[in-house]
Chain A
Amino acid sequence: MNLQEYFSLVFSDYTLRTITLGTAILGAVTGMLGSFAVLRKQSLLGDAISHAALPGIAIAFLITGAKDSNTLLLGALVSGLIGTFWIRGIVSKTHLKSDTALGLILSVFFGFGMLLLTYIQKQPNANQAGLDKYLFGQAATLVESDVWLMAIVTGVSLCVMLLFWKEFKILLFDKDYAETLGFNTKTIDVLITVFIVLAIVLGLQTVGVVLMSAMLLAPAAAARQWTNSLSTMVVLASVFGAFSGVFGTAISASQNNLSTGPVIVIVAAVFVLISFIFSPSRGLLFRQIRFVKNRRDLELQKTLSFMFHIAETHDDISHPHEIRILNNFQGFTKGSLKTLEEKNYIRLEGSTWSLTDQGFETASNLYNQQHQNNE
């Protein structure tokens, strides 16, 4: 199946439609909530939570013996929350730093989850196959009810976010101020964290515990480059997330042997790369261009000021000088002389140059900040 076939089939084929819709919604909700995680400097929390959710899935299966994805996700949610609050406990009550707490909880919970999974596999119950899809995710196992669940959670988190928008925002950027205003920062904090955990747990079935953190971060990190406004960033991150979901599904469906999760992550990473390079205000490309332009301007001004100091010593400022005498000064090139001529600061005649009145005027005011520069 190639990409064109995919797009013609996406509306008619049940499986493709479900998966595409699922990954799109997932991308949107993780992008939305991921923006908060990134801005709160909790980027790696997502990684820890997604790993910490694994034992919950196994325990939920051990208790119920059923593979109903809602029950398993509930288990994942509980164990993800336990992990999150344990991390907070470690960071606030001991001198261990957050990176240690994250790495510790992540690996220990994951290891415990693996122990339980291998234990389950040895059980005589034949129903256990397929639990390991939560490790790397299998978008192909999404069914309509899963998509509905995602949609409902997305709707709820959207409502909560709109309802508590100003509280979230103020907590994000100025916690102390929020506290002095009388907001219950602890509750808001817990609320945001719970929703981040919820978003991560939702994605486990699709992209798996190992790659979930990228789903949370990448759209938000990409969106951050284009704007300084929180609302724009949240919207952009959702859009990026949704598109990564759709494109990732499309690409993986059009090839054999390509699991959806990793492809979605790579598509999201491409979004990040493009944003890093091409964003107008923060991007590396435009930053470099601005840098070069600034340097050129500076060199031009240096040349002009050097000429000014030569012309100053003569009564007639437009007295022509040889270009050669500029040689002790390294900052000029043919190009810069030409630019100066274009700006009507100097006149070039053969191998000589002379300052114009305008050039003299500009050069004498070069370091005068009060002077209005009409450039």
Chain B
Amino acid sequence: MSSAQFEIQLIASIVAIACAIPGTFLVLRKMAMISDAISHSILPGIVVGFFITQDLNSPWLILLAAFTGVITVVLVENIQKTGLVKEDTAIGLVFPVLFSIGVILIAKNANDVHLDIDAVLLGELAFAPFDRIYMGGVDVGPKSLWVIGSILLITITLLILFFKELKLSTFDKGLSASLGFSPIVIHYGLMSVASVTTVGAFDAVGAILVVALMIAPAASAYLLTTDLKKMLLLSIGFGILSAISGYWMAYWLDASIAGSITTMLGILFLVVYLFAPSKGIIAVLYREKQQRTEVSLLTFLLHLKNHEEESERHVKHLNEHINWQKVRSRTVLDLALKNNMIAIDNKIVSLTPKGDEFTTQAIDYIITNEDAQIEDMKDDFFLFRG
């Protein structure tokens, strides 16, 4: 591994961390699409900034472009406040317009500036190590490493300083406002950090792919934990993992590094989405099936309790009366037997004392409208789940 390769991976990892932190809060605050809007609408800011400074890594350009990002948020909120359109429409209107202005500005001045839309949107990480900073003639590392490194430093400082304010205002706006933390200041603070990070990262990974680095790790982490600190750490971990594995995939395919990092993020999310222990799609589907069987079981037990007469309790009768398919009746009967809820004697089903107790309690909960308690009760009674 050459030093250039190492530097690329270092930059990619730092970008991933810098994006994951604001991204986590954006996802939790249901503002993920705002990051998409910001990433598009910083374009005119970058273009104008570039006309002024002639340097893509100048701090002024970053501030100017980040300011455009904040303007986007303000514009969206003001349009929304008029009540003429909903929030999502407001977002969808503002950023394409700003982006179009940026594209036109570039097109009209394409001849005399070295800046094209592809570079802004997609970035090129592979060239990052060649643009270096020299301090008194000594090479101190790639420019973008310094840029994104300082942004990360600021972000982490702000995160540590305002962690409890951020946490509180994210989960309980009302409480945080009544405790005196201005939600507006925190909101715009977060928006500014997101804007600055987007601008700082566009050079390395491109403006659109910043969105992936913000949302995908946070979304994956959110499926695995409900603890804010763990979620932050997990998203940072996911970000770094995808950054490094993405780099090697791009190296192997000889393709865009940013695109390949995003693809790794997508694969990572897909895996978590499918296999997350309690919130993954397989777990959810399994639980839904389990719930269905258990509700059927309860229905069945209630039926037994209501009917003393033998004709209603015959095994065959279940198919006809409760209108279940054969397989389903078999599953339910088996489950009930396994849990010692029923006894089958000569094809006639009857409740065992345990089954009777379970059913009586369940009825109590149903009448008093405390259906949720049945879930806890299941833990006490069931040896095997559906």
Question: Which A residues lie within 8 Å of B266 (CB)?
Answer: 108-109, 111-112
Segment of B4-12, B212-220, B355-363 in the binding face = B212-220
Question: Which A residues lie within 8 Å of B113 (CB)?
Answer: none
CB distance from A173 to the nearest CB of B (A): 15
Bound: A211/B279 CA distance, A: 34
Give residues 16-40 of A contacting B (CB, 8 Å). 38
Q: Does A102 contact B (CB under 8 A)?
A: yes
Q: Does A269 contact B (CB under 8 A)?
A: yes
Question: Chain A residue with minimal CB distance to B122?
Answer: A114
Q: Does B376 contact A (CB under 8 A)?
A: no
CB distance from B337 to the nearest CB of A (A): 32
Q: Does B59 contact A (CB under 8 A)?
A: no
B96 pairs with A214, CB closer than 8 A: yes
Q: Is the interface of A mostly helix, strand, loop or mixed?
A: helix
Question: Which B residues lie within 8 Å of A272 (CB)?
Answer: 93
Bound: A217/B86 CA distance, A: 11
B269 pairs with A225, CB closer than 8 A: no
Segment of B159-167, B252-260, B323-331 in the binding face = B252-260
Contact residue among A43, A115, A225, A262 (Cβ-Cβ distance under 8 Å from B253): A115
Q: Does B209 contact A (CB under 8 A)?
A: yes
Question: Which B residues lie within 8 Å of A269 (CB)?
Answer: 93, 96-97, 100
CB distance from A47 to the nearest CB of B (A): 6
B92 pairs with A100, CB closer than 8 A: no
CB distance from A89 to the nearest CB of B (A): 7
How many chain B residues touch A (Cβ–Cβ < 8 Å)? 63
Bound: A266/B117 CA distance, A: 18
Question: Which A residues lie within 8 Å of B223 (CB)?
Answer: 94, 96
Question: Which A residues lie within 8 Å of B208 (CB)?
Answer: 51, 107, 110-111, 210
Contact residue among B103, B122, B218, B260 (Cβ-Cβ distance under 8 Å from A262): B103
Q: Does B315 contact A (CB under 8 A)?
A: no
CB distance from B318 to the nearest CB of A (A): 30
Bound: A258/B82 CA distance, A: 33
B284 pairs with A94, CB closer than 8 A: yes
A221 pairs with B89, CB closer than 8 A: yes
* Contact flag A282-B212 (CB < 8 Å), given A221-B93, A262-B100: no
A103 pairs with B35, CB closer than 8 A: yes
Q: Does A93 contact B (CB under 8 A)?
A: yes
* Contact flag A97-B103 (CB < 8 Å), given A108-B262, A111-B258: no
CB distance from A46 to the nearest CB of B (A): 7
CB distance from A212 to the nearest CB of B (A): 8
Question: Which A residues lie within 8 Å of B110 (CB)?
Answer: 257
B97 pairs with A265, CB closer than 8 A: yes
Residues of A whose CB lies within 8 Å of any CB of B are 38, 41-44, 46-47, 51, 89-90, 93-97, 99-104, 106-119, 122, 132, 135-136, 210-211, 213-214, 216-218, 221, 224-225, 257-259, 261-263, 265-266, 269, 272, 276, 282, 284
Give 10 closest A-B pairs by Cβ, nearest first: A111-B262, A115-B259, A214-B96, A107-B212, A262-B100, A108-B266, A114-B259, A118-B256, A103-B32, A107-B211
Further pairs besides A94-B273, A210-B208: 7, Cβ < 8 Å: A43-B89, A43-B92, A51-B208, A119-B255, A262-B103, A262-B107, A266-B97
